[in-house]
Amino acid sequence: MIWLIGNQGMLGTELALLLESQKIAFVGTDREVSILDPNALRTFVENKNIEWIINCAAYTAVDKAEDDVELCHALNAQGPENLGRLAQEIGARVLHISTDYVFSGNPLLKAGRPRPYREDDPTGPTGVYGKTKAEGERLLMAAAPTSIILRTAWLYGKHGNNFVYTMLRLMNERDTIGVVADQRGTPTWAYDLAQAILYLIALSGHSEGDVWPPAGIYHYTNEGETTWYDFAREIYRLGRQYGIITRNCDIKPLTTDQYPTKARRPAYSVLSKEKIKALGLSVPPWQESLARFIHEL
Give the residue numbers marked as catalytic. 129
How far apart are the C-alpha atoms of 11 and 147, rounded to whole Å? 19
CA atoms within 13 A on the CB side of 183: 26
Report the C-alpha gap between 213 and 203 in whole angstroms.
6
Q: Judging by DSSP bridges, how do beta strands 108-110 and 113-115 pair with one another?
A: antiparallel
Nearest to 53 by CA among 159, 136, 144: 144
Give the span between the Cα atoms of 108 and 186, in whole angstroms: 16
Give the Cα separation of 180 and 232 in Å (integer).
9
Listed in order, strand segments (DSSP E) in 47-144 are 52-55, 93-99, 108-110, 113-115
